[in-house]
Amino acid sequence: MPDDPGESFVLNTLLRDAGPGGASTLRVPPGDDAAILADGLVLTQDAFIEGVHWDERFSGADVGWRLAMANLSDLNAMGARGVWAMLSIAMPKPLDRSWVEGFSQGFSQALNQVPLIGGDTCSSPGPKALSATLGGRLVAAPILRSGASAGDEIWVSGQLGAAAGGYYGIASLLSAFLRPMPPLTLGPALAERALVTSGMDLSDGLSQDLHRLCAASGVSAQIDPTSLPLPAALMDRSDPVADAVGFGEDFELLFTARPQDNVAVRTLGESLGVSLSCIGHIQAGSGPPTLGQRAWPVGWSHFGTEAPC
Amino acid sequence: MPDDPGESFVLNTLLRDAGPGGASTLRVPPGDDAAILADGLVLTQDAFIEGVHWDERFSGADVGWRLAMANLSDLNAMGARGVWAMLSIAMPKPLDRSWVEGFSQGFSQALNQVPLIGGDTCSSPGPKALSATLGGRLVAAPILRSGASAGDEIWVSGQLGAAAGGYYGIASLLSAFLRPMPPLTLGPALAERALVTSGMDLSDGLSQDLHRLCAASGVSAQIDPTSLPLPAALMDRSDPVADAVGFGEDFELLFTARPQDNVAVRTLGESLGVSLSCIGHIQAGSGPPTLGQRAWPVGWSHFGTEAPC
């Protein structure tokens, strides 16, 4: 559910007019990272608009990479692997051919072996406007936001706040901002081994995303701020924890697992070469998650008002 | 293949970088109205950009209707029925809520019972930018552009030039321009009864689309201009045949059938309430189709330079 009231209005209007027909088509209700059809096809779609989702720091190749990875990350969060992609691309005139070539290379590199099977191309009288749709396949039961139970451990992959550091000008973190690397083998591997009780990707930051996961599961959570995997280069910032939980764009995986699976989860991470951190645990109740002695920053907005993305 | 050289560059660049991976995913090669996956899922996607695909004559409801129908028409042309839809919608701020409400109603009305199962919503610093992806299912062997043989009869549904008339200000034809009504039962019914050898939808006009069908089939064609089903209201225009074959946007079905199936095709059209006209026949060779004594207008562009769409 978007936080922008305008976007919520658009979504609610569309869902109201669409009626209940989707219920029999979908295996799980709307509201997860991707839609799952009754036949097991997993579908996700992201729109990318110049000046909204990227600024002048992004090359065409960065935009292509990021658009593909944002969609692949949604599939990963469901425990699915990408099987095909479609792309709509609207470009202003005169056509910037070198941007298109860079975009195409970044997009196909990120898609790796996922084939582009169709789409649409047209002109735009305004900004570049892109939309990609990806189809994926589950390898086992899907990972949903709604499966966390009291006592489960809370895990995140990679580092939190690297994209924030890149955005705020820390040179060593710039590539994390421009070229996110979601752990695309992790979601399917966790699902295949039934090591996960719930999960989603960290596109909006832990502060919003954990709150969503808890709301979907009907639970609360306690996070140990000292256990958050922060990049060393972030430590010069005035409030690295705020950057790590409030900014988003890391496209890491947030998931919960039973405490008795702690070693199996760690072992799996090591075998995949994905660093995993246990950052807290799920607790009963419905209040906002807690972050040690700090108030949980529920109201933090995605990129804030300064954001280009 | 788009006619705009810039769009062709974008498409060729994307296809080159995408590599050959799609071949094993697709049942038929790219280049038809929609992609068909090996498992029989049919996929189509259309981008709609304000100022490119519609002008101020279109209400939000008209745009929603048209976006859904453009995609449904592609599925119809393959002999498939829609089973789900996804939508990306980028809206400028401040949000025009009444436009969104109209759009949503027109979109869902045109989709009829096809459920909207996901998508993305965001803001746009420029024009409204939309992209819809539809999934469909075949009911029988797909209708392709490549199956026409010498001797086949050439058929079109409905009337040709009604959208052109509406665009050029003929009041009685305005609704055909704003709210196209593709014959969505016809494609699946023709496929189910194996009454069709090739087909596609008439989105760009007979002059371009028949040429594409002939090229895909390795044949030529002869059209009898007196048999074209023109709206009576178009007769005051200086060259109604040019409007009928050159403008497009009618979203009618163009298809070929064996001469011995002539009566069966007519009977099917009557049973579905879809008017069908036999407008010529396929002939051997590879030259452009002929239109009686007229030169075939191969070079006519879609909407011309004056076009908003």
Q: What are the pLDDT tens digits along chain A (309 aa)?
A: 456 788 889 999 998 888 776 667 788 777 788 999 988 999 999 999 999 999 999 999 999 999 999 999 999 999 999 999 999 999 999 999 999 999 999 999 999 989 999 999 999 999 999 999 999 999 999 999 999 999 999 999 999 999 999 999 999 999 999 999 999 999 999 999 999 999 999 999 999 999 999 999 999 999 999 999 999 999 999 999 999 999 999 999 999 999 999 999 999 999 999 999 999 999 999 888 988 888 776 544 443 333 333
pLDDT of residue B305: 35
Contact A11 B121 (CB under 8 A): yes
pLDDT surpassing 80 at residue B306: no
**Considering the domain boundaries, does residue A83 fall inside one?**
yes
Q: How many CB atoms within 10 Å of residue A151?
A: 15
Task: Say how far apart CA B32 and CA B144 lie, in whole Å.
Answer: 7
Residue of A nearest to B123 (CA): A52
Of A37, A114, A117, Cβ closest to residue B84: A37
pLDDT surpassing 70 at residue B142: yes
Beta strands A80-91; A116-123: pairing state:
parallel
Contact A14 B89 (CB under 8 A): yes
Residue of B nearest to A6 (CA): B95
The verdict on A202 and A270 lying in the same domain is yes
The verdict on A122 and A248 lying in the same domain is no
- Mean pLDDT, residues B242-271: 96
Task: Say how far apart CA A299 and CA A186 lie, in whole Å.
Answer: 30
Strand-pairing partners, residue B81, are B137
Residue of A nearest to B119 (CA): A45
Q: Do residues A58 and A66 lie in contact, with contact meaning Cβ atoms separated by under 8 Å?
A: yes
A·B CB contacts under 8 A? 240
pLDDT of residue B193: 98
Residue of B nearest to A82 (CA): B25
Q: How many domains does chain A have?
A: 2
The verdict on B271 and B159 lying in the same domain is yes
A242: domain CATH number is: 3.90.650.10
- Mean pLDDT, residues B154-166: 97
Strand-pairing partners, residue A131, are A47, A88
Q: Which of residues 60-89 of A touch B (CB under 8 A)?
A: 83-84, 86-89
pLDDT surpassing 90 at residue B298: no
Of B10, B21, B83, Cβ closest to residue A89: B10
The verdict on B112 and B89 lying in the same domain is yes
Q: Measured between beta carbons, which residues in chain B are less than 8 angstroms from residue A118?
A: 30, 34-35, 43-45
Query: Testing the interface with B: which of A120, A124, A128, A203 to mutate, by most B Cβ within 10 A?
Result: A120
Of A44, A100, A129, Cβ closest to residue B49: A129
The verdict on B174 and B287 lying in the same domain is yes
Q: What sign results for the dihedral spanned by CA atoms A194, A196, A202, A208?
A: positive
Contact A131 B113 (CB under 8 A): no
Contact B86 A133 (CB under 8 A): yes
Task: Say how far apart CA B31 and CA A26 lie, in whole Å.
Answer: 30
Angle at A177 between CA A289 and CA A220, to 5 degrees: 10
Is the minimum CB–CB distance between A119 and chain B shorter than 8 Å?
A: yes
Q: Do residues B224 and B279 lie in contact, with contact meaning Cβ atoms separated by under 8 Å?
A: yes
| ipTM for the whole complex | 0.91
Q: Do residues A257 and A195 lie in contact, with contact meaning Cβ atoms separated by under 8 Å?
A: yes
**Considering the domain boundaries, does residue A113 fall inside one?**
yes
Q: Provide the CA B151 distance to its chain's centre, in angstroms.
A: 24
Task: Decide: helix, strand or coil at residue B169.
Answer: coil
**Distance from A19 to chain B by nearest Cα, in Å?**
8
The verdict on B133 and B157 lying in the same domain is no
Q: How many CB atoms within 10 Å of residue B278?
A: 16
Return the DSSP state at B79: T
Q: Measured between beta carbons, which residues in chain A are less than 8 angstroms from residue B88?
A: 45-47, 88, 131
**Distance from B260 to chain A by nearest Cα, in Å?**
36
**Considering the domain boundaries, does residue B47 fall inside one?**
yes
Q: What are phi and psi of B196, to 5 degrees?
A: -130, 140
Task: Judge if the upstream peptide bond of residue A94 is cis by omega within 30 degrees of 0.
Answer: yes
pLDDT of residue A187: 98
Task: Decide: helix, strand or coil at residue B278.
Answer: strand
The verdict on B160 and B279 lying in the same domain is yes
AA letter at B40: G
**Considering the domain boundaries, does residue B277 fall inside one?**
yes
Q: Do residues A173 and A230 lie in contact, with contact meaning Cβ atoms separated by under 8 Å?
A: no
Task: Judge if the upstream peptide bond of residue B127 is cis by omega within 30 degrees of 0.
Answer: no
**Considering the domain boundaries, does residue B217 fall inside one?**
yes
pLDDT of residue A264: 98
Is the minimum CB–CB distance between B28 and chain A shorter than 8 Å?
A: no
The verdict on A124 and A169 lying in the same domain is no
Domain of residue B49, residue span? 21-138
Q: Which of residues 189-228 of B touch A (CB under 8 A)?
A: none
Q: Do residues B253 and B272 lie in contact, with contact meaning Cβ atoms separated by under 8 Å?
A: no
Percent of chain B with pLDDT over 70: 94
**Considering the domain boundaries, does residue B309 fall inside one?**
no
Residue of B nearest to A134 (CA): B133
**Considering the domain boundaries, does residue B127 fall inside one?**
yes
Task: Say how far apart CA B46 and CA B113 lie, in whole Å.
Answer: 19
Is the pTM higher than 0.90?
Answer: yes
Relative orientation angle of helices B5-18 and A97-111, to the nearest 10 degrees:
30
Residue of B nearest to A70 (CA): B120
**Distance from A35 to chain B by nearest Cα, in Å?**
6
Task: Decide: helix, strand or coil at residue B33.
Answer: coil
Of A13, A88, A117, Cβ closest to residue B35: A117
Q: What is the 3-state secondary structure (H, E, C) of A31-83?
A: CCCCEEECCCEEEEEEEEEECCCECCCCCHHHHHHHHHHHHHHHHHHCCEEEE
**Distance from B193 to chain A by nearest Cα, in Å?**
27
pLDDT of residue A25: 79
Task: Say how far apart CA A260 and CA B76 lie, in whole Å.
Answer: 53
Q: Do residues B165 and B237 lie in contact, with contact meaning Cβ atoms separated by under 8 Å?
A: yes
Q: What is the pLDDT of residues B72-123, one digit of tens each?
A: 999 999 999 999 999 999 999 999 999 999 999 999 999 998 999 999 999 9
Is the minimum CB–CB distance between A308 and chain B shorter than 8 Å?
A: no
**Considering the domain boundaries, does residue A209 fall inside one?**
yes
Closest CA to B155 of B101, B225, B228, B66: B228
* Structure-block tokens of residue A180: 């996110």
**Half-sphere exposure of A208 toward its Cβ, with a 13 Å CA cutoff?**
19
Q: Measured between beta carbons, which residues in chain B are less than 8 angstroms from residue A105?
A: 17
Q: Measured between beta carbons, which residues in chain A are less than 8 angstroms from residue B19?
A: 108, 115
Contact B21 A124 (CB under 8 A): no
**Distance from B55 to chain A by nearest Cα, in Å?**
12
Q: Measured between beta carbons, which residues in chain A are less than 8 angstroms from residue B83?
A: 25
Task: Say how far apart CA A80 and CA A70 lie, in whole Å.
Answer: 14
* Structure-block tokens of residue B52: 């490119």
Is the minimum CB–CB distance between A11 and chain B shorter than 8 Å?
A: yes
pLDDT of residue A292: 85
The verdict on A247 and A160 lying in the same domain is yes
The verdict on A282 and A248 lying in the same domain is yes
The verdict on B63 and B177 lying in the same domain is no
The verdict on A92 and A158 lying in the same domain is no
Task: Say how far apart CA B209 and CA B220 lie, in whole Å.
Answer: 12
Task: Say how far apart CA A248 and CA A119 lie, in whole Å.
Answer: 29
Contact A14 B87 (CB under 8 A): yes
Q: Which of A77, A109, A138 is the last residue of a domain?
A: A138
**Distance from B118 to chain A by nearest Cα, in Å?**
6
pLDDT of residue A166: 96
pLDDT of residue A93: 94
Beta strands in A79-152 (DSSP E): 80-91, 116-123, 129-138
Task: Say how far apart CA A151 and CA A284 lie, in whole Å.
Answer: 8
B114: domain CATH number is: 3.30.1330.10
Is the minimum CB–CB distance between A122 and chain B shorter than 8 Å?
A: yes
Q: Do residues B137 and A38 lie in contact, with contact meaning Cβ atoms separated by under 8 Å?
A: no
Angle at A215 between CA A214 and CA A218, to 5 degrees: 80
